[in-house]
Structure formats: C-alpha cells, structure tokens
Amino acid sequence: MTRPKPAIGFHRQDNQLYVDGVALCDIADNFGTPCYVYSAAAITQAVQNLTAALTEPKPKIHYAVKANSNLAVLRLMQRLGVHVDLVSAGEYARACAAGFTPAQMVFSGIGKTDAELREAIANNIGQINAESAPEVKRLIALASEMGARPAVALRINPDSQAGGHAKLSTGSHQTKFGIPLDEAATLYKTMAESGTIQPAGLAVHIGSQIMEMDDFAEAWQKMRGFADALREAGYEVPKLDLGGGIGVNYNDGTTADLKTFAGAITQIFADSPYQLAIEPGRVLVAEAGCLLARVIHTKEGVDKRFIIIDAAMNDLIRPTLYEAYHRIEPVRESVDDADTLPPADIVGPICETGDYLGLARPMPALETGDVLAVRSAGAYSAVMRSNYNSRVMAAEVLVLDGAAHRISKPQTLDDLLGADIIPPALRDET
C-alpha cells in the first residue's frame, strides 16, 4: 500500500504541528531550543510558484541572499536553478561555497569597499550594481588599474514611496539608496565612455514587504522610460534589474498576488529588447521557516500574562526592530479555551522591555517545557541573530526528504569566550 505524501510545509496533524511530515516537538527534543526550522519542500514550492507565475518576457530569478544565507538553503536554491543577489564579500563567499558561479551573481549594496570591488572585478561577477557617483568613479579607477572591464549597472532611485515599514522603504529620495533620475543619465554616459566599464543596464529596488503591485508598476514605468531614452541617445542598455520586495502577509502567511506581479512585468516590458531580472528573498523563504522556543514559566501580571520563553530578541529582532507581527502557536494543541484567559505577552529573558516576540496574544494555559512555534521566520530572522546578553545563537535545522538535518554548528559559551582577547597588560601574572 502506497503511503500518502506528507503535507508540504507547516501543518496540523493529531493535535500537533508538523513540518513536511516531521513532528516539531520531536525536532525540539532532538535539537534543543531555541531552534530555527526550515522546510525544503516549502522553499522548493515557493520557487516553483514564482517561476510558474512569470510569463514572457520571463525575468531571471536572483535570490536575495540576505534573506536567509545558510549554506544549506543556498545550495537548495542553486539546485533549483535560481541565481543570487549579494550585498557583501561575506555573501559572495557563501554563494561560492554553495556552488554558484560568479557569472550567476549580482553584487548590490551602497557601501562596497575597494577590497570588495576588487574581488568582484577579479572574479568577473556577472553584474555590479553601482549606487552613487563616487562608486562609479572608484569602479572606473579600479577597473583601469586592474586592466579589466566589469559589467556595471546603475541603480536608479525613482522616488517611489513603498514598503511595509518606514525602515523597509528604499525607493524614495529621502533614503540612501540609488541615483536620482536627473543625475543618472550623466553617470551612465560617464560609464559608457570610460573605456573600462561595460554598461550592463539599470537596476531598481523600491523596498520590501510590498503588497500593492501598483507600487512596482510605477517604478518600472519610470525605469522603462529612462532606459528607452538612453537607447535613443545611442547607449547600450542590455539588462534591467527590477529588484525584489514582494510582500508576505505575516498575519495569515499569504503572499502578494504573484500573477498580478508577473502581469505588471509583462504589461510594461512586453516586446522590449531588455534582459530582465528580479531579486526576491522573503517571498521564497519566510513562510518556510519557524522558530521553536520552550516555555520557561508564566508570570501573572495585573491585567495580562507574561509567557517567558527561552527565545529572545537576539534570536528574532524583527518584532522589536520593525514592530513586526509573527503568528505564535503551541506545537501541541491544548483543550483550554484561550478566550477565557487574559491576553499574554510572549517575552524572552533579555534585560530589555523591548524583548518580546508577541504582545497581547490569546494563548491557552501553558506549562514549563511546552513548545511554541513562531511562524514566518524563514527570512530576515536567523540572519539577524546576535549574541546580546552573551547568549549563544539558536541552531538551524532543515527538513529535507522527511528527515531533519542540523545545518549550523551548535554555538557554545566557550566559542563566545574564545573570540575575545585579553591584552597581556591585563592578564594575571602566574
């Protein structure tokens, strides 16, 4: 008798929460908490869903490494045939270790150092996105010095207000990102006439957590018009990098309408001569991950409960940094009616009032040792961990083909202490 395939991603079965057929309570027992858990099947499905939604002209998908840069996740992306978008030399090293070639990389970021640019040029990275006049000047000088001709695109700033939070908006003139359109034409001419740079085209990225597709369309219309004007002036504009930012609704786990997103690309760039690329991150991994935490104890307040857990803001900074909402649910369902109990703040042990993962949440009665799952934690979560309060970083686990695999080494207190150096003048003489 053939067994039915397990459900993809996170799902309830027999009053417990599972991921790809593996019980999360077993993962918590086997790997400890706090612990990040990712579903390889859910990541695969997300890539397939986006690929299927895209129509002609079909952009190349460059996964934004900053969303989740674990080597196992990157290797999975590489196996799925996507390329990558990088913002640092560290991410370049990770992408190489995961099997990507330099030709499959776009190097973005507003503050690339000379060392990073030299490495990108020397390794012939597929495209460098320049974000300012000083960066273009440095690229020309470095390319001339090295006798190379790197492919460089200009990241334009279309002055668009978009993004799910002020700290996630990058397309306005009030932000540090990109080059205003009234300056970009002169810079593009400078690149084209430098003799040392191959003008690769234009790039744009207006923000993150964008749910309204009209925001993308407005920026892309400006980009298309500017690109067409450059071509009419006689300049080569081979590629247009449309950026990322497709939003995810963390309240219910749904994504922005991918068909509408793809339809806007088709409407604006149909019958155009440009090679297109997009840089999704969150939409491919956010819902494929969760953070597991155990209850330390419950503290009864005046008009609320405090559920104190072993995960904290150093494990998941998004609620504190962005006021982000993450669904939180017990791994094992309870018969208690949460509606009869006062709301609960789910908080960590760090000595900050801002150390919380959820506020005023309906929660059943919980006991010491119960496991909670903090959902939508596959993106911009583990990558933003820290050792604040000298806490070791949470482990990461990938469920692949029905088995759970540790994908990051456990960090110990000895690792933390061993990273510091006491100078000889402060050491005790023995």
Residue 331: give its domain's CATH number. 2.40.37.10
The phi-psi region of residue 402 (left if phi > 0; otherwise alpha if psi is between -120 and 50; otherwise beta) is: left
Q: Which residues are catalytic?
A: 351
Question: How many independent structural domains does the chain possess?
Answer: 2
User: Does residue 275 share a domain with residue 358?
Assistant: no
Q: What whole-number distance in Å separates Cα of residue 209 and Cα of residue 358?
A: 19
User: Does residue 316 share a domain with residue 258?
Assistant: no
Task: Pick the closest to residue 200 from 267, 134, 120, 268 (CA basis).
Answer: 120
Distances 340 to 300, 304, 366, 374, 391 between C-alpha atoms, Å: 15, 12, 14, 22, 35
Where does a domain end: 285, 316, 346?
285
User: Does residue 255 share a domain with residue 354?
Assistant: no
Q: What whole-number distance in Å separates Cα of residue 428 and Cα of residue 269?
A: 69
User: Does residue 48 share a domain with residue 29?
Assistant: no
Report the chain's mean pLDDT, rounded to a whole number.
92
pLDDT at position 167: 37
* DSSP codes joined into one string, 297-364: EEEE-SSSEEEEES--TTT--HHHHH-----EEESB--SS-GGGS--EEEE-SSS-TT-EEEEEE---
Beta strands in 353-407 (DSSP E): 356-361, 371-374, 395-400, 403-406
Say whether the peptide bond before residue 343 is cis (omega within 30 degrees of 0): no
Which value, in Å, is the radius of gyration of the alpha carbons in the chain?
24
User: Does residue 233 share a domain with residue 376?
Assistant: no
User: Does residue 145 share a domain with residue 91?
Assistant: yes
DSSP state of 411: P
Distances 73 to 38, 250, 354 between C-alpha atoms, Å: 9, 21, 30
Where does a domain end: 267, 285, 303?
285
Global confidence as pTM: 0.93
Phi, psi of 23, rounded to the nearest 5 degrees: -70, 130
With respect to residue 70, please indicate whether it lies within any of the assigned structural domains.
yes
With respect to residue 351, please indicate whether it lies within any of the assigned structural domains.
yes
Where does a domain end: 285, 303, 320?
285
pLDDT at position 373: 98
With respect to residue 425, please indicate whether it lies within any of the assigned structural domains.
no
Task: Pick the closest to residue 274 from 153, 367, 393, 390 (CA basis).
Answer: 153
DSSP state of 16: E
User: Does residue 64 share a domain with residue 210?
Assistant: yes
Residue 84's SS3 state is strand
pLDDT at position 146: 97
User: Does residue 84 share a domain with residue 209?
Assistant: yes
Residue 88's SS3 state is coil
With respect to residue 1, please indicate whether it lies within any of the assigned structural domains.
no
With respect to residue 430, please indicate whether it lies within any of the assigned structural domains.
no
Q: How many CB atoms lie within 10 A of CB 159?
A: 17
User: Does residue 47 share a domain with residue 34?
Assistant: no
Residue 155: give its domain's CATH number. 3.20.20.10
User: Does residue 217 share a domain with residue 93?
Assistant: yes
User: Does residue 295 share a domain with residue 268?
Assistant: no
With respect to residue 5, please indicate whether it lies within any of the assigned structural domains.
no
Q: What angle do CA 314, 317, 321 make, to 5 degrees?
A: 140
pLDDT at position 169: 40
Domain that includes residue 300, residue range: 10-38+287-418
Q: How many CB atoms lie within 10 A of CB 117?
A: 24
Given a cut of 50, the residues of the chain with pLDDT beneath it are 1, 162-174
User: Does residue 390 share a domain with residue 281?
Assistant: no
Q: How many CB atoms lie within 10 A of CB 315?
A: 28
Tokens matching residue 345: 């703040």
With respect to residue 2, please indicate whether it lies within any of the assigned structural domains.
no
pLDDT at position 164: 47
